Amino acid sequence: MPRSAKSILIFLLALAAACQEVGARHDIQEGNKLYYDGKFDQAIKRYEEALKVDNTLFIGWFNLGLAHLALFSPASKTATNESHAKGAMDALENYMRLQPLDTQARDALLSLYIDSGHYDKAIQYFEEKLAKEPNSIDAVAQLAQINQQAGNSDAAIKWHKKKSEMVATTDLKADSWYSIGVLDWRRLYGHPEIAGPDRQRIADEGIGWLQKADEARKGHAPTLSYLNLLYRERALSSELWLARSVDTANAGVYFKQAQEAAKNK
């Protein structure tokens, strides 16, 4: 092929690519108009059309994610809602690959993971962050909280303990110990199927951490309240009247202390 013909071919290919990009950007603009008119389903289609032509247009991925988010409700468990959650996650993940420094988009994506019940994705993110930043207290705190929300009690307790070792002040350490006690109470309250030695073991663990928190931070009414509540749950672990009476009496002592602490606050 003559050099001039090759040059013309290259020019035509470049022109075609430029036209495609212009068309993709036009689809995004039209999608934006639909989005602002509240026509989110139609906006999604236009964004998807644009990204089929050019999947490097990061603004297209971001806007697609927002359109799916507009149709997502954390309280809904329908297949349609899950579809919008997945659509938003896929779009924002693609956006983050192109714009990894956008912290607002990252935070929106992490919130979506949690709101949609995809806790594993949020946990993976913070585990990877902790691997890169071993001293990140924020990552440890997030892992404790997210595992707790996901119902991973053992993992949550592990991270609360880790956090207590990393924070500097006594109050912050006491907060972590208090959190473990509250978590153990939640494991027992309303769960009569946890009985006997298992119930006693969980109650004793929570009571131990709450007492440690109480020693470090005297007069903290919530800590004393949960000591009262955990002793009441512990009382249900035994069929012996005397054992239940001792636990109930201990609960009463902490209940009165919690009342006094609340008055003196």
**Consecutive sets of 10 residues in the chain, 265 residues long: mean pLDDT of each?**
45 39 74 92 93 90 95 92 96 95 95 95 96 96 95 96 96 96 96 95 97 95 97 93 93 95 84
Q: What pLDDT is recorded for position 263? A: 86
Answer whether 87's CB lies under 8 Å from 68's CB: yes
Residue where a domain terminates, one of 54, 84, 117: 117
Helix, strand, coil percentages in the chain from 3-state DSSP, rounded to 5: 80, 0, 20
By residue count, the chain amounts to 265
- 9 and 92 share one domain: yes
Question: What is the count of structural domains for the chain?
Answer: 2
| Residue pointed to by tokens 């999608």 | 31
Distance of CA 23 to CAs 26, 32, 167, 175, Å? Answer: 5, 14, 54, 55
How many Å apart are CA 128 and CA 35, to the nearest integer?
34
Answer whether 251's CB lies under 8 Å from 229's CB: yes
The H or E element that residue 77 is part of is none
213 Cβ contact list (under 8 Å, min separation 6): 174, 175, 177, 178, 181, 220, 223
Sign (positive/negative) of CA torsion 258, 262, 263, 265?
A: positive
> How many percent of the chain have pLDDT more than 70?
91
How many Å apart are CA 38 and CA 265, to the nearest integer?
49
- 176 and 107 share one domain: no
How many Å apart are CA 109 and CA 98, to the nearest integer?
14
Residue where a domain terminates, one of 117, 136, 159: 117
Q: What are phi and psi of 136, to 5 degrees?
A: -75, 105
- 107 and 195 share one domain: no
Residue where a domain terminates, one of 58, 90, 117: 117
Q: Any idea what the CATH number is for the domain that residue 86 is in?
A: 1.25.40.10
How many Å apart are CA 76 and CA 71, to the nearest integer?
11
> Using alpha carbons only, how large is the chain's radius of gyration in Å?
28
Answer whether 188's CB lies under 8 Å from 194's CB: yes
Q: Which domain holds residue 210?
A: 167-265
Q: What pLDDT is recorded for position 7? A: 44
Q: What pLDDT is recorded for position 208? A: 97
Residue 182 domain-assigned?
Answer: yes
Residue 187 domain-assigned?
Answer: yes
Please tell me what DSSP assigns to residue 192: T
The H or E element that residue 126 is part of is helix 119-132
| Residue pointed to by tokens 């109050």 | 171
Residue 156 domain-assigned?
Answer: no
Answer whether 143's CB lies under 8 Å from 123's CB: yes
Residue 93 domain-assigned?
Answer: yes
The H or E element that residue 17 is part of is helix 3-36
Answer whether 47's CB lies under 8 Å from 63's CB: yes
Q: What pLDDT is recorded for position 253? A: 96
Q: What pLDDT is recorded for position 10? A: 40
Q: What pLDDT is recorded for position 27? A: 78
Residue 84 domain-assigned?
Answer: yes
Angle at 143 between CA 176 and CA 151, to 5 degrees: 90
Residue 217 domain-assigned?
Answer: yes
Residue 134 domain-assigned?
Answer: no
| Residue pointed to by tokens 């996650």 | 89
- 109 and 217 share one domain: no
Residue 122 domain-assigned?
Answer: no
